């Protein structure tokens, strides 16, 4: 096992955001202290999880108190902080200001010297070692930083099953380029392989995971808040994700980013092989953590000739549906749909099933949580029979 794989993953109990600073400090102490990662004068980019404009203090976006605590820790170590994020959809100064304000980030930086990024420039970065992509557009603040700290939330995700340290870095891809990558890489495995390429290209210095209040069910924005009660940290984002997945009941092979990280030798093969410091994983594991509807895949349970797989995937896979009782016809789902499978011609969103690639961007970015995930009846019945 190489040195990067053997990096520790710290797990610390934390019951509330009021005490999160102590838990963050302890999680960092267990892996060598913040001074191991930051030198005085370093320009430290903190990448929160701000998927879209959502009210603060839910499990959807980075908790402002958690962010404030990390900023204070970095500044006390001598770092100069800049907060940067590229949410889904357009990427411009007005969008960023609104995002920071609505998500409580503008308030979170008060009393600190941290800057909010409004620079929307980006650079096409060559990455010849990529397995799926060899070139990636990355926002310039990331490229100009001395240290990159990622702050993922512990949440489920409709497309990828789970979103964590690796997936959080999708937010360094500028605006609408995300939709382009979703459209080009419309299968879960290829999309998640790209996410591992991106993480390997960016090489975050440190990942600190907020697992105090996470999200279960149809995450990352339409699930249910779930108390987990942990703060986790590691210099190895791939191992951090494996540990977090183990806590919420996912095996490594069930999450494509984790499976791909194992295949590339970026982390251990099993959670038992991880270098956990602090609280053992089995003491914080949650066996009844709800998975997204898209997780229940009939094709995982039966072996069929490859010729039938495409037809069955199309017929039995989970799909987004519009809850017209909650929908306000804002058109955000149509604007953010990578294959342009959603039409607003009649004044309400209509999904073209033939064009839908099941990326669930519509579900993720709907401001009213009006997009639901539906499994066909045959899928639900047959899974129950085969379990």
pLDDT per residue as tens digits for the range 188-201: 999 999 999 999 99
Q: Higher pLDDT residue, 107 or 376?
A: 107
Residue 1 pLDDT > 70, yes or no?
Answer: no
CA–CA separation, 171 and 182 (whole Å): 13
The answer to whether 198 and 223 are in contact (CB under 8 A) is no
* Residue (of 60, 177, 53, 181) closest to 120 by Cα position: 177
pLDDT at 373: 85
Which of 174-183, 205-214, 307-316 shows the lowest per-residue confidence on average (mean pLDDT)? 307-316
242 Cβ contact partners less than 8 Å away, ≥ 6 residues apart = 252, 258, 261, 262, 267, 268, 271, 274
**Residue 343 binned pLDDT confidence (cut-offs 50, 70, 90):** very high
pLDDT at 386: 45
pLDDT at 358: 86
Q: What is the mean pLDDT of residues 56-62?
A: 92
Percent with pLDDT over 70 in the chain? 90
**Residue 301 binned pLDDT confidence (cut-offs 50, 70, 90):** very low
CA–CA separation, 233 and 235 (whole Å): 7
Q: What is the mean pLDDT of residues 1-28?
A: 89
pLDDT at 162: 96
**Residue 308 binned pLDDT confidence (cut-offs 50, 70, 90):** low
**DSSP sequence for 26-92:** HHHHTTT-GGGT--TT-EEEEE----SS--TTSSSS--HHHHHHHHHHHHHTT-EEEE----SS--S
Q: What is the mean pLDDT of residues 135-152?
A: 98
pLDDT at 149: 98
Q: Chain-wide mean pLDDT for the chain?
A: 91
Q: Higher pLDDT residue, 274 or 6?
A: 274
For residue 182, what are the CA distances in angstroms to 59, 139, 250, 306?
24, 18, 24, 24
Residue 299 pLDDT > 50, yes or no?
Answer: no
| Helix locations, the chain, DSSP H | 20-29, 64-76, 93-102, 105-108, 140-143, 165-168, 177-184, 188-202, 237-247, 256-263, 306-316, 332-336, 361-365, 377-386
**Residue 280 binned pLDDT confidence (cut-offs 50, 70, 90):** very high
**Residue 175 binned pLDDT confidence (cut-offs 50, 70, 90):** confident
CATH numeric code, 296-386: 3.30.70.20
Enumerate the β-bridge partners of residue 126: 135
pLDDT at 57: 86
State pLDDT tens for residues 219-256: 999 999 999 999 999 999 999 999 999 999 999 999 99
Residue 368 pLDDT > 80, yes or no?
Answer: yes
Q: Higher pLDDT residue, 311 or 47?
A: 47
Rounded (to 5) percent helix, strand, coil in the chain: 35, 20, 45
CA–CA separation, 96 and 53 (whole Å): 9
CA–CA separation, 92 and 132 (whole Å): 28
Q: How many CB atoms lie within 10 A of CB 329?
A: 15
Q: For 271, phi and psi rounded to 5 degrees? A: -60, -35
CATH numeric code, 9-283: 3.40.50
Looking at residue 137, the DSSP 8-state letter turns out to be E
CA–CA separation, 45 and 168 (whole Å): 14
Q: What is the mean pLDDT of residues 182-211?
A: 96
Domain ranges across the chain: 9-283, 296-386
Looking at residue 140, the DSSP 8-state letter turns out to be H
Q: What is the mean pLDDT of residues 337-342?
A: 94
CA–CA separation, 242 and 236 (whole Å): 10
Q: What is the mean pLDDT of residues 328-355?
A: 94
Residue 305 pLDDT > 90, yes or no?
Answer: no
Identify the burial level of 280 via C-beta atoms within 10 angstroms of its C-beta, where 0-12 means exposed, 13-18 middle and 19 or more buried: exposed
For residue 295, what are the CA distances in angstroms to 138, 145, 157, 219, 335?
30, 36, 9, 11, 26
pLDDT at 317: 74
């Amino acid at each position: 096992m190489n040195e990067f794989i053997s990096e520790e993953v710290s797990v610390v109990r934390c019951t509330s955001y009021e005490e999160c600073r102590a838990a963050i400090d302890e999680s960092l102490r267990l892996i060598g202290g913040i001074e191991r990662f930051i030198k005085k004068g370093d320009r430290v980019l903190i990448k929160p999880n701000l998927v879209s404009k959502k009210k603060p203090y839910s499990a959807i976006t980075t908790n402002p108190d958690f962010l404030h605590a990390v900023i204070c820790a970095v500044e006390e170590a001598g770092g100069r902080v800049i907060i940067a994020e590229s949410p889904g959809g357009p990427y411009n100064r007005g969008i960023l200001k609104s995002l920071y304000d609505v998500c409580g980030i503008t308030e979170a930086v008060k009393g600190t010297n941290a800057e909010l990024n409004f620079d929307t420039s980006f650079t096409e970065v060559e990455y010849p070692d990529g397995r799926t992509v060899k070139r990636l557009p990355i926002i310039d603040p990331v490229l100009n930083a001395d240290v990159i700290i990622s702050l993922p939330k512990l949440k489920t995700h409709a497309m990828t099953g789970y979103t964590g340290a690796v997936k959080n870095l999708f937010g360094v891809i500028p605006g609408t380029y995300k939709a382009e990558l979703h459209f080009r890489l419309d299968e879960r495995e290829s999309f998640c392989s790209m996410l591992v390429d991106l993480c390997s290209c960016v090489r975050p210095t440190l990942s600190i995971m907020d697992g105090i209040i996470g999200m279960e069910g149809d995450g990352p924005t339409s699930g249910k808040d779930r108390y987990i009660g942990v703060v986790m940290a590691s210099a190895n984002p791939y191992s951090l994700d494996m540990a977090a997945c183990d806590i919420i009941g996912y095996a490594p092979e069930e999450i494509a980013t984790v499976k791909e990280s194992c295949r590339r030798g970026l982390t251990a093969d099993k959670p038992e092989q991880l270098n956990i410091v602090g609280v053992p994983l089995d003491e914080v594991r949650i066996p009844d953590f709800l998975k997204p509807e898209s997780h229940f895949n009939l094709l995982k349970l039966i072996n069929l000739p490859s010729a039938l797989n495409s037809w069955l995937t199309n017929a039995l896979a989970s799909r987004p549906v519009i809850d017209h009782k909650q929908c306000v016809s804002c058109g955000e789902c149509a604007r953010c749909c990578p294959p342009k499978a959603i039409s607003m011609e009649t004044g309400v969103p209509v999904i073209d099933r033939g064009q839908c690639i099941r990326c669930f961007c519509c579900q993720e970015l709907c401001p009213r949580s009006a997009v639901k995930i539906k499994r066909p009846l045959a899928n639900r019945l047959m899974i129950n029979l085969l379990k």
